[in-house]
Structure 1
Amino acid sequence: MNSTGEPGRMIEGRKPPLNIFLPLFLYPVILILIACSSVDAADRPNIVVIMADEKSEITEQRTNQNGQRSREVSNHGSNIALASKEELYLDRKLAFANPEVDNPNLPNVLLIGDSISIGYTAYVRRDLIGKADVYRIPTNAKNSAYGLEHLNDWLEMKSLKWDVIHFNWGLWDLCYRHPESNVQGNRDKVNGTLTESLEGYRSNMKKIVARLKQTDATLIWCTTTPVPAGEAGRKLGDDVKYNLVAAEIMKANKVRINDLHSHALLRLPETMVREGDVHFTEEGYIHLGSKVAEEVSAAIAKRAADSRREIE
């Protein structure tokens, strides 16, 4: 693998030595590479993930099987692709690679959400390099009842003052599940039981917002992304119903709203990972991440402006 992280691509300007014994040297190396490529990604002891911001500042993170960052190297002047779909969507280790050291000169951002937020977290970090330290909770936030139960632990997972908290619950709440269903997640909208009713969701979200407001952070509610036709455990249109309930609560509490639902629709269905699946392709997560980063940036700017006015 070359310095750009792309296998088999020669570095520009560097020519291989013209040696008649080169094929003899390369043959065992090729055999080793073929053998390694056949090993499942989950069995590899280390996974290399590469991010790049628009200024081509590259951050290479080597992550072990526990998702803990063991090495970080910065480079400049290169043009390297983002994390692959395998690394982002299947392994998802990069999403949980929170900053090891807080930069006191940057605002602290906390992302809370389900697998959709796990998918776009890496791209939000990329877009906010130099603007904010972006953290996420160490797990999938699942449904609102689960979130309410664990919220205190997540808010206190680091001794940091949160400046912006971007959060969502919904897709798990509106999902029907049945213990005998063989579909992933035991989803079954025909025979299953709804995880959380609209009224239960309303009650949980009111309590969650009340707790989040105690942090004095700028809060951003992210609308639940679309439920596609053919989803095994979710009914078409329920995403809109739950979003309306959440929006009512957010408006009453003067919480900013990031309409990620409408933003996602701009690139659907081509960014669906597969038909009837609520998840997205890598391009889809980049699309969502850019919107989240934009909303977080706006909140940071407003917070800074308000602070200056208070000082004046």
Structure 2
Amino acid sequence: MLLLVVCSTSAFYKSKPKILIIGDSISIGYTPFVQKSLADVAIVKHNPGNAQHTGTGLGHIEAWIGDTDWDIIQFNWGLWDLCYRHPDSKEYGNRDKINGTLTYTVEEYTANLDALVRMIKRKSNAKLIFVTTSYVPNEEAGRYTKDAKRYNKAAKGVMKKYGVIVNDIYKVSKEIHNKYGIGVHDVHFTEQGYIKLGEKISGFLIDQMKVLKKQ
């Protein structure tokens, strides 16, 4: 009887959907809570390090996906793409939206995302989920609040073109940031904020896993 139980548990583990999360520091912040929340139903991994901007993604996406047969690949870029930086800035990450240079224009961001989706689709048969850029507070040193909405709109256009599912977290991330953000000068969240974001991400992933089971 014990042997049967062990084999059953092993088989269940192997049958768990494999989820790859690709993204910036916001995703790094909530991924541990997603992993904990989904521990019994999925294997959740994050790409090594910070996925930064779409240019970084173009250079590393194939290595991040590797040879694993992922069931779901969730990805996001945006906060780094819309950031202005200047080498003389004393702000963390050399952020400077007054004198700095924009990493990628919305047009360049759109083109890069288009290329990335095509690369992911060539590399993997996984269900794809794009997570929108999270809230940018007005006093953030290197980013404009309005740009997050502009880049999200552009990203949604790309995802619609390729039939990629979108998890739009912008509105809820603003609500969470207002309560659990590090501050009005920072896009990041406290631990409680990442827990709340993790709940949003986990719920969406659970819904998509249910869809996969029916297919």
Query: If you compute each CA radius of gyration, which structure gives the higher value, 1 or 2?
Result: 1
Other structure's SS at 1:270 match: helix
Q: Distance in 2 between matches of 1:176 and 1:130?
A: 41
Instruction: Report whether the alignment pairs 1:188 with 2:75.
Output: no
Other structure's SS at 2:58 match: helix
Q: Distance in 1 between matches of 2:149 and 2:142?
A: 16
TM-score normalized by the length of structure 1: 0.64
Other structure's SS at 1:279 match: strand
Q: Distance in 2 between matches of 1:239 and 1:256?
A: 19
TM-score normalized by the length of structure 2: 0.92
Higher relative contact order (CA 8 A, sep 6+): 2
The aligned residue for residue 38 of structure 2 is 128
Structural mapping, 1:275-290, within 5 Å? 275-290=184-199
Instruction: Give the CA deviation at 1:297.
Output: 1.1
Q: 1:116 aligns with which of 16, 26, 29?
A: 26
- Structure 2 letter corresponding to 1:220: I
Instruction: Give the CA deviation at 1:264.
Output: 1.0
The aligned residue for residue 8 of structure 2 is none
Instruction: Report whether the alignment pairs 1:294 with 2:212.
Output: no
- Structure 2 letter corresponding to 1:165: I
- Tell me, yes or no, if the aligned pair for 2:62 and 2:120 is still in contact at 8 Å: no
Q: 1:147 aligns with which of 31, 46, 57?
A: 57
Q: Distance in 2 between matches of 1:200 and 1:271?
A: 32
The aligned residue for residue 172 of structure 1 is 80
The aligned residue for residue 153 of structure 2 is 244
Structural mapping, 1:77-116, within 5 Å? 103-116=13-26
The aligned residue for residue 182 of structure 2 is 273
Other structure's SS at 1:160 match: coil
The aligned residue for residue 201 of structure 1 is 109
Q: Structure 2 stretches of 5 or more lacking a match?
A: 1-11
Residue deviations 1:254-311, cap 9 Å, x none?
11111111221232311111222100011110111111111111111111101xxxxx
Q: Structure 1 stretches of 5 or more lacking a match?
A: 1-101, 307-312
- Tell me, yes or no, if the aligned pair for 2:135 and 2:177 is still in contact at 8 Å: no
Q: Distance in 2 between matches of 1:121 and 1:224?
A: 15
- Structure 2 letter corresponding to 1:238: D
Q: Distance in 2 between matches of 1:200 and 1:194?
A: 11
The aligned residue for residue 220 of structure 1 is 129
Instruction: Give the CA deviation at 1:103.
Output: 3.6
Q: Distance in 2 between matches of 1:125 and 1:210?
A: 27
The aligned residue for residue 68 of structure 2 is 160
Instruction: Give the CA deviation at 1:212.
Output: 1.6
Q: Distance in 2 between matches of 1:179 and 1:127?
A: 40
- Structure 2 letter corresponding to 1:170: G
In percent, how many aligned pairs have the same letter?
43
Other structure's SS at 1:109 match: strand
Instruction: Give the CA deviation at 1:220.
Output: 0.6
- Structure 1 letter corresponding to 2:83: C
Q: CA RMSD in A?
A: 1.2
- Tell me, yes or no, if the aligned pair for 2:181 and 2:189 is still in contact at 8 Å: yes
Q: Distance in 2 between matches of 1:276 and 1:169?
A: 20
Instruction: Give the CA deviation at 1:130.
Output: 1.1
Other structure's SS at 1:229 match: coil
